[in-house]
Structure 1
Amino acid sequence: MISVFGRWYRRKFSDPDAAMLLILILLTTAVLLLWGELIMPVLVAAVIAYLLDWPVSRLVSIGVGRTLACAVVLFGFITVTILTLIGLVPIISKQSVNLIQETPLIWQKAQEWILTLPDKYPDYVQVYQIHQMMEGLNDKLVEVGETLISASFSNIANLAALLVYVVLVPLMVFFMLKDKLFFVESISRLLPKERRLITQVGHEMNSQIANYIRGKVIEIIIVGVVSCVTFVLMDLRYAILLGVLVGFSVLIPYIGAAVVTIPVAVVAMFQWGISPEFWYLMIAYGIIQALDGNLLVPLLFSEAVSLHPLYIIVAVLVFGGLWGFWGVFFAIPLATLVKAVITAWSSNPVAIPDEVK
């Protein structure tokens, strides 16, 4: 068994390029695990810089100076972000408070409906089963409420960290965009000479990550806006709040759409009951999800490496558990990176000398 593993190791890693790629991956993983929270503002700035690099490059290509192009694009991005927050945050906050206040009424109506099940289906549902289930759900709801309250107090303590993001991240984004070539050359000088596979994987991932970030932001905006407009036109309560949730749900493929369906259906059922209006809304919501998965995603991510849905779900669980929101956001690019690395190693067989076979 040891000899089999030894032959595999020599076949894959006796090439210095493959060994350097492995060392770089291990070092990067260790840095992210140990100091991920500390360098998170830098990673956030890099994400935004990836997003804004395309318009900066277009302005430079038509003759605008790079410094001026960076300043104009960053100013436009900050302006749009502030206006969006000013327009959405008060509405979302008000609807969130109203929804929290009405949650006991929604739960009370749900309990009343559940208690009717033993009379409707006496052969399948017993009264004691209903009471046990509701007691367990009540305990869980109390735990969730306590968690939300403690989280709100911890968020107050994180205001200082928010100020760091507000002040430092835009500065880092500006310098990353302005001195892009300088940073690329500096990183290149730090890399070892045996970097053929590192360069191969880097070139493959650079365009894919940039396309993924831009495509994901566009997808969030389109799905969120369409959902908000649809919910408002159908007079659904908390339309803006639910539309924003639907927009951000596309961050988590498959899982996000399934999870966000619950609040949409619960609010609609509480408002209309099992009525034609409820089914019209669910049909419209299903159409939005179908168009997103079958039309919008193929258009925006046509250049992305295809991944099996199981790999995507596993990547979301693993990287989301490691790095939270940003792990979920980058689950697909990171899974694609893992696939690119495995492909590079698999397509790079090294001849094993006869004396070590």
Structure 2
Amino acid sequence: MIKIFQSWLERYFADEEAVLVAVILIVSVVVVVSMGVVLAPMIAAIIIAFLMQGIVLQLKRWGASHTISVSLTFVVLAGTLLVCVVFLVPVFWRQLINLLNETPKMLVQGQQVMLLLPQQYPGLVTEEQVRELIGALRIEMTQWGQSILSFSVAQLPVLVGILIYMVLVPILVFFFLKDSEQMLQWFSSVLPRKRPVMRQIWVEMSLQIANYVRGKSVEIVIVAGVSSIAFSFLGLQYALLLGIAVGLSVLVPYIGAAVVTLPVALIGFFQWGWANEFFYVMVVYGIIQMLDGNVLVPLLFSEAVKMHPVVIVLSVLVFGGLWGFWGVFFAIPLATLCKAVINAWPTVSRLDAEEGPSGREPSNK
């Protein structure tokens, strides 16, 4: 057993850079898992700065200086936050409160519909089964209500933290954008000069991460905006709330669209029943999902991440369970990072092939 383990170590950790990459990955995971809450503002600022970096680069291509590019980008970010806080957040909060107030009425309507099932399908559903299900749902709703009430009372200090983050995160974003080159140079200075594995991983990841993160952010905004406008035009209640839910559903491939269909269908049904308006909403929702998958995604994601659907779903479950929302958001890039590390990892056989039979690097002649 010891010889097998020693042989495995010699095969996969014979190169100094392999050990360094392993240490960096382990330390990064430990820091994020153990101090993720404390470092949340900085992590969020790094992500936002990465998203805004594209605007800075574009302004530089148009001839603007680095300082002017960063300043204009920061103005765009501050203006976007201001619009969200002044216009979108109050509407979102008001619709959420109305939905919570209307939930008991929706439950009564749902109970009436469920009590009709034994009459329509007596061979499949009995009245006793329906009443047991209604009783179980009441217990669950009571527990949810108590959880919401306790959360709203116990988490009041979180509001103060949110206000602090709204000031702290933009400041961090500004400095990350302004001094990004100096930070990268410092980080490179502490690494070995010869780092082919790290370069290969960086080359493979940089384009895909930039393409995915920026493309996914644009996709969320477009899908949420179009869905909110379409639902509002059709007269569906809680249009902004449902539109944002539809936009966020694109974070979870294959599952998000299926999950968010339920609240859209339920609210439409409780509002109109089996009327034509209900079917109009579902048709429009289906068209939005079809256009998103067949038109918007191919346009936004020029470099497709080729992964099996099972791997994508597994990545969402694993990284989402570890890091919550950000884990879901970065599930595919993190899975791509794992794939890039595996492909670039130096082994004894690969090192021997690169050095050649004489122990030296093969000649190009």
TM-score range, shorter chain: over 0.9
The answer for unaligned runs of 5 or more in structure 2 is: 354-365
Runs of 4+ in 1 over 3 A off after TM superposition: 1-9
Check the 8 A contact 1:272/1:278 in 2, yes or no: yes
Tell me how far 1:206 sits from its aligned partner.
2.1
The answer for the alignment partner of 2:219 in structure 1 is 219
Q: Deviations over 1:24-57 (max 9, x none)?
A: 1111111111111111111111111111111111
The answer to whether 1:35 aligns with 2:35 is yes
The answer for the alignment partner of 1:293 in structure 2 is 293
Distance 1:155 1:252 in 2: 27
Tell me how far 1:239 sits from its aligned partner.
1.4
Check the 8 A contact 2:197/2:346 in 1, yes or no: no
TM-score of the superposed pair, with normalisation by structure 1: 0.93
Check the 8 A contact 2:15/2:346 in 1, yes or no: no
Tell me how far 1:188 sits from its aligned partner.
0.7
Check the 8 A contact 1:215/1:301 in 2, yes or no: yes
Tell me how far 1:6 sits from its aligned partner.
4.1
Q: Judge which range, 147-156 or 221-230, deviates more.
A: 147-156
The answer for the alignment partner of 1:355 in structure 2 is none
Aligned 1:194-343 pairs, distance under 5 A: 195-343=195-343
Distance 1:91 1:31, change over 3 A: same
Q: Deviations over 1:113-141 (max 9, x none)?
A: 11111111111111221122112111111
The answer to whether 1:111 aligns with 2:145 is no
Distance 1:33 1:194 in 2: 30
Q: Any idea what SS the aligned residue of 1:349 has?
A: helix
Distance 1:317 1:196, change over 3 A: same
Aligned 1:121-140 pairs, distance under 5 A: 121-140=121-140
Check the 8 A contact 2:223/2:247 in 1, yes or no: yes
Kindly indicate whether structure 1 or structure 2 has the higher relative contact order, using CA contacts under 8 Å at least 6 residues apart. Answer: 1
Identity across aligned pairs (percent)? 44
Distance 2:280 2:24 in 1: 53
Amino acid at match of 1:142: T
Distance 1:215 1:143 in 2: 39
Distance 1:149 1:255, change over 3 A: farther
Q: Any idea what SS the aligned residue of 2:102 has?
A: helix
Tell me how far 1:345 sits from its aligned partner.
2.2
Distance 1:150 1:301 in 2: 42
CA-based RMSD: 1.9
Q: Deviations over 1:213-250 (max 9, x none)?
A: 21111101110111112112211111122112111221
Distance 1:172 1:285 in 2: 38
Distance 2:252 2:153 in 1: 27
Q: Any idea what SS the aligned residue of 2:313 has?
A: helix
Tell me how far 1:100 sits from its aligned partner.
1.1
Check the 8 A contact 2:250/2:257 in 1, yes or no: yes
Distance 1:307 1:150 in 2: 42
